[in-house]
Amino acid sequence: MMFETSLDDWDYGRALAELWRRSKYERGFISDPFGGPQRAEQGLHRMRALLAGLGDPHLRVPTVHIAGSKGKGSTGAFIATVASQAGHRVGFYTSPHLHRFPERIAINGLPLTDDAFASEARLVGLVADRLDASSSDEAQVTTFEFITAMACAAFARDACDLAVIEVGLGGRYDSTNVVAPIVSVITRIDLEHTGVLGFTYGEIAAQKAGILRAGVPCVSSPQVSEADEVITETAIEIGSPLQMGGRDWNWTGSWRSFTATGPWGDWRDLALGLPGPHQVENACTALAALHFVNASGLTIPEPAARSGLSGTLWPGRFEQTMVDDRVLILDAAHTPAAAAALVSTWRELGISSPATVILGMSADKDPKAFLEALRPLIGHLIATRADSPRAAETEAIFAIASEMGIPSDMQPSVAGAVGTALKSGDAPILVTGSLFVVGEGREAIGLADPDPLWRALNDVNRARPQRCDRP
């Protein structure tokens, strides 16, 4: 049933209700690759129509478009922070959020206010309702399309100098793949979302490389050979000048002090605010992209790059805190490669192990492969789940861990798992496996407050028979 949209009845709660009602999983929370290429193309056509009704805001702000399996958010955060340090007004669109929807749309590091969020939702809602009126239920504007349009409109309305737009899933058929980038970025590719994107590195790379544009430079993090080959061939075929990490630019050192060498020169003694060897790769990917941003006319001086890299903060990415004299780490790793990077960072920082690990994952992930990569850190596992219909069942994670011989318990909620962990021993605690789990972990220890309006929508709709997705 369609809402009657007016200009005077929108507030933050109304905006959330609109996002919720459009979030049916069977339509997809991106431009519906689940229905195959034809439906995905229809989704992109719908996205263009939605933006056209708003005056094509996505074409009014120079854009960095970022795809990849891991490191998209950190790389985007580095780019946005450095460009902001250089004196530019920067919009950053990322997904999902840790605690509240407005986090997805930030300008110079600040999420939209609730009023601004509601205002953008109202204007997008007017256009979306007009499109929906002439469409079947399966072809109506989805949540991800809706909020992507909100981000594009907000950045144009605020006269941003640069937009950093993160792909939701894949690339070729993602709702964001309607922008006109000044540089395309592909971070490290891993085997993820295989049911949608493909079962090999090459198949997944082909989807990510779908964001490349003729005549628009592309930057890629170092890739396994199969993915490297696909990205390189696609760039040549399309005519997108490619800068590949490990080949055209490189680095030496650690996140505490490293040298980055590439077309920007030889920058020494760089340091990061985000710990971990994998973050050096993400930072250098960001520098490679910023080189092209600078070439486009948005000046990025070296001092801004240095201060931006060292000042970048990205909650939930190897975030360390102390709770009741216990070391507690929150990390949103959700692939085996990300788990391996987490282990490497843990060891580099000299944190004691084994740890009490609180693990919850999305249903489309591979808990066994993740646990195998994380196993060097695990002393005891507490299986749990986020408050999301997309979450894997706690019992499934517990069963896999038990089969692997990992001492395990279960808790039905992340807050319950954190409470149990804090009462047992003195080992460090790790909360990981999903951004949603990390978000609830942060809320459980008082680092952030949950969104009561979104939680109420979850509670009200949980009893309904339709299958809904937390977008």
Distance of alpha carbon 266 from alpha carbon 404, whole angstroms: 46
Is residue 298 located within the same domain as residue 416? no
How many whole angstroms separate alpha carbon 167 and alpha carbon 169?
6
Q: Which of 311, 329, 350 is the last residue in one of the domains?
A: 311
In a domain, residue 432? The reply is yes
| Cβ atoms < 10 Å from Cβ of 470 | 20
Say how many domains are in the chain: 2
Q: How far apart are CA 416 and CA 385, in angstroms?
A: 10
Residue 373 lies in a domain: yes
Whether residue 297 is found in the same domain as residue 360 = no
Task: Point out the least confidently predicted range of 133-147, 388-402, 413-427.
Answer: 133-147
Q: Which residues pair with 378 in a beta bridge?
A: 355
In this structure, the number of other CB atoms found within 10 A of the CB of residue 452 comes to: 9
Q: Report the C-alpha gap between 423 and 326 in whole angstroms.
A: 10
Predicted model pTM = 0.93
Question: In angstroms, how far is CA 197 from the centroid of its own chain?
Answer: 16
125-148 pLDDT, tens digit per residue, is 999 999 999 888 778 999 999 999
One domain for residues 126 and 233: yes
Q: Which three-class secondary structure state does DSSP give residue 238?
A: helix
Residues 188 and 336 in one domain: no
**Quick check: is 1 in a domain?**
no
CATH number of the domain enclosing 196:
3.40.1190.10
Domain boundary among 311, 336, 360: 311
Are residues 196 and 63 both part of a single domain?
Answer: yes
Question: If residue 114 lies in a helix (H) or strand (E), which one and from where to where?
Answer: helix 114-133
pLDDT mean over 53-59: 98
Asked if 289 and 384 sit in the same domain, the reply is no
State which residues form the domain around 56: 12-311
For residue 376, pLDDT over 60 is answered with: yes
Q: Tell whether the model's pLDDT for residue 33 goes beyond 80.
A: no
Q: What is the pLDDT of residues 285-294, one digit of tens each?
A: 999 999 999 9
**239 and 375 co-located in one domain:** no
65 and 47 assigned to the same domain: yes
Task: Tell me the CATH number at 351.
Answer: 3.90.190.20
Task: Give yes or no: residues 380 and 281 share one domain.
Answer: no
